[in-house]
Amino acid sequence: MMKTKLLKINRNFILATILIFFLSLSWVQTVNAEPQQDKSYLSLEALSDSIADIAEKVGPAVVNIDTIRMVKTDFPFFDDPIFRRFFGREFEEFRRTIPQKGTGSGFIINQEGYILTNEHLIHKAEEIRVTLSDEREFVGKVVWPDEESDWAIVKIEADHLPTVNLGDSSKLRVGEIVIAIGNPYRIQQTVTMGVISALDTIPINIEGHVYRNFIQTDTAINPGNSGGPLINVKGEVVGINTAIFRSFQGIAQGIGFAIPINVAKKDIDEVINSGKVRKSWLGVYIQEVTPEIAEQFKLPKAKGVLVSQVIKDSPAEKVGIKRGDIIIEVDNQEVNSPDELQNKIRSIEIGKMANIKIIRNGEEISLMVKISEMLSEGLEEKEEVSKEKVFSVQTGIKVEEVTPNIAKELGLPWVKGLVITEVTPGSSADDMGLQRGDVILEVNRTEVSSIDEWEEIISKLEPGDTLLLLKFRNRHTYYVPIKVEKID
């Protein structure tokens, strides 16, 4: 009886102990959860405070830039060489010049009034007005425009101005938080936040300008933000906000692009001190070696960089580099893209010798080139009926011989080659960007200046063959490979 009673007491005691244990555990978890929630809240609050601090610190150095440029308006076919050939300049009286306004942003990089912005914002501007964050207005003067990289420095007559700190864009990582400050739609000092979406993007063509090695971000960048700073969480400028990707409907897609600050950073002091930038120069126009081009040049694989034009009196010409050469190494380092070659040449001090290895007609040749300073390039400054013939293959283009009259209309420095008069939509030629008015100087590395020479080469082609054209446009030559197709 005593044992039974004791057993009941022990059982009740055990049950009570277990209950107290679980209640205690639950209370401990509740107590521990509160600090965790507080910790999360404090972390978010700290991030929010950091963004606000950066906006307060950098904002005063961000400016609004308004520009006016004069542009000619006319009908789109006025500049068509074929139209002008038949109608002459009778329609010139319909052209008129009107002012075009532009707006964007910039940021102060020097207390004496030097401002960094986009070149496309101030390009050919006849009037530049800069408005500071304190509403003071100044007339801006372009000190240095870099059209190729799309950055520029504008100077205003002011001093003791707030400035930004420039960071190191080479240290950026995908996923890193960044902030944009600018004046979209003339709304002053707008702050947006996002992350780095991608780095070193492939070449992108935006409104006719090819950009390379962009910073891609989902930070909201709207019209008027161009030229403003992209900032890291340390408050340092790591990029120049430049462009956005829009759908066909014109709607922003959360894809913005910025120029890495290092592109301009290395030249800023030189511009401020001397008013110009000295760039190392080889003196060639270059392009990528595609598999189709590699096939035409009988390379085992696509590698190196193809020389499409050599500038007269350049370092390249002086040592014998020729059009059609393929540059594969600079100072024993491989180069396999135009960007790699350009960056390598620009890293070599002006006046230094560089070992350039090329492939010419299947043979590797090493040349010692003295790198010089980039100068302004200067280029030297007949009626026939078009013939056509139907073949079993489709090139996607129609051509006619360049006569003295056509050369004059196109502004050519010589009378030679074949001018493209028509490009078939959807053809390989269309896909590769050939246009009416382009001049073909070579076909499969053979010079052509007559329809008979063109026909002789085309007649030997089979469907699927590659046709390598040397195209002349805007004073430069480029190799363009196109696939010939069978005509049904």
As annotated, the active-site residues are: 120, 150, 226
- Whole-number Å distance between alpha carbons of 325 and 365: 10
Q: To which H or E segment does residue 428 belong? A: helix 428-431
Task: Answer for the pair 153, 141: CB distance below 8 angstroms, yes or no.
Answer: no
Please state, as a whole number, how many other Cβ atoms lie within 10 Å of the Cβ of residue 230. Answer: 31
The residues, ordered by sequence, that sit 6+ positions from 7 with a Cβ below 8 Å of its Cβ are: none
Residue matched to tokens 């024993």? 332
The residues, ordered by sequence, that sit 6+ positions from 150 with a Cβ below 8 Å of its Cβ are: 118, 119, 120, 209, 211, 242, 259
- List beta partners, residue 90: none
Task: Answer for the pair 178, 194: CB distance below 8 angstroms, yes or no.
Answer: yes
- Whole-number Å distance between alpha carbons of 97 and 56: 42
CA atoms within 13 A on the CB side of 350: 10
- List beta partners, residue 357: 329, 366
- List beta partners, residue 252: 246
- Whole-number Å distance between alpha carbons of 471 and 480: 7
Task: Answer for the pair 256, 292: CB distance below 8 angstroms, yes or no.
Answer: no
Q: Which two tokens stand for residue 195?
A: 């992350």
Q: Which two tokens stand for residue 359?
A: 């492939």
